[in-house]
Amino acid sequence: MTVPKEDRRPGAPLTAWLGVLALLAVVAISYIDRVNVSVLITDPAFTQHFGIAGNRAAQGALMTLFLAGYGIAAMLITPWYEAVFGVRRGLLVSLACWALFTLVSPYAGSALLLLTLRFLLGASEGPLFSLKTMYVKDNFAEGAWGKPNAVSSMGVSLGTALGIPVITFALVHFGWHGSFLLLAALNLVVGLPLVALFVRSVRRRTAVREPALRRFAGALRTPKLGWILLIEVATLGYLWGSTSWLPSYLLQARHFSLAQMSALSALPFVVSLGSGFLGGWLIDRLPGRRVPLVLVIGSIGTALCATTVTFADSRWLAAATLILANAFWGLQGPAIPTLVQQYAPAGSVGSAYGLINGVGNLVSALLPTLMGVAIAAGGDHGFAAGYALLAATQLLTLLGAVVLLRGRAPAGKATAAAEQPVARSR
């Protein structure tokens, strides 16, 4: 069994924060990868080439299959990454795979082959957030996880905010083929060097590695696992549903120009950058058992704003409430990894987050396709039906957060204290 031997230092060293910033960039690149097809399905040349023009369900499946691969890998491959590779080597392997699958995607000869490559790309990205969560717990003291969780998770909003304008620019100037080649270059030229240079472990880990299966079994024993899973499903459902259909909604339902769509698609995620950091700041100032309060506030605000979108007559009011909805959604971001770090058994944090993130992605992967079906069936009010589904996800987050608030507090520092005699017995 692995026994972590720790070299705790007062405060977080600069090297730990450089690793957090590198992770932020890697997460951002991964999210530019993910939103790529959200823009490409608005391009007639792309949809006609693969025979999916006018087929909303097939277009939604491009994201759904990506998320299915991501979820399976996050759940089943992460314990192996945690046991064998560790954070740094695991990230290097993942980035190399991202680059490969993105590079060959424009040369797929059919929609079936493209869907297969999307599944494989998702699988190669599956362990990312578990590795990120492991890095934060390994390099920062308990009670100081909120801000590094928030900063590294800001890559979600940054990548989504940059992704739509960057892919739109590539689409206009280089065609849809060029967007895939640009993403492969980002993985190779930016992602790999950042991880190689800056992602290091502050703690020293020695002793025999614990088998992956045992880590997975430990993850299954995480207290409140079902409720944290429900929150993850709802949070990711909102993310995937909104990012998959936002460009189409702005262009086709609200009749914004391509330039306006590009800017308005980025703004919700720019706003969530700031709200995500605010969420991390609040978490570090709340008692551990009160962390779900951030989820309560965020879910109520997001649900109200998403509901307003469905009734708004003015396209500018709809755009403004979409931006505000993402501000409330972003507030919730740092809470989930913090809950996993609090509740997961020692030595199984990465596997626990992989299980939660994997199942969360597998279930939430259905939402882009369900929204596509709702949009197609709803006629003139199709997009309103789609956004009503997004509002419903936040009611699930609210339910899970209230249950966590009313339950027993996580073990918290008791767990860390229990590890200290082992760490001193070197």
Mean pLDDT rounded to a whole number for the chain = 83
Q: Domain total for the chain?
A: 1
362 within domain boundaries: yes
Residue 305: pLDDT above 70?
Answer: yes
Give mean pLDDT, residues 310-328. Answer: 89
Query: In the structure, what pLDDT confidence band is assigned to residue 4 with cuts at 50, 70 and 90?
Result: very low
Pair of tokens at residue 214: 């045992």
356 within domain boundaries: yes
Least confident of 106-110, 152-156, 208-212, 249-253: 208-212
Give, in order, the Cα–Cα distances in Å from 399 to each of 283, 292, 383. Answer: 19, 11, 25
Least confident of 62-66, 149-153, 301-305, 325-329: 62-66
296 within domain boundaries: yes
Q: At what angle do helices 366-377 and 56-76 cross, to 10 degrees?
A: 160
Domain assignment of residue 394, given as a range = 13-203+211-418
- The pLDDT value given to residue 12: 60
423 within domain boundaries: no
6 within domain boundaries: no
- The pLDDT value given to residue 187: 92
- The pLDDT value given to residue 419: 38
Secondary structure percentages of the chain, helix, strand, coil, to 5: 80, 0, 15
Give me the CATH number covering residue 340.
1.20.1250.20
Residue 184: pLDDT above 70?
Answer: yes
4 within domain boundaries: no
3 within domain boundaries: no
- The pLDDT value given to residue 397: 95
Q: Where does 43-85 have alpha helices with state H?
A: 44-49, 56-76, 78-80
Q: Distance (Å, rounded) from C-alpha 369 to C-alpha 146?
A: 33
61 within domain boundaries: yes
Q: Where does 378-412 have alpha helices with state H?
A: 382-406
Q: What type of residue is 75?
A: M
- The pLDDT value given to residue 137: 83
Which pTM was predicted? 0.71
What would the pLDDT profile of 364-418 be if each residue is shown by its tens digit?
A: 878 887 888 888 887 666 788 888 889 999 999 999 999 999 877 666 544 443 3
Q: Distance (Å, rounded) from C-alpha 337 to C-alpha 355?
A: 12
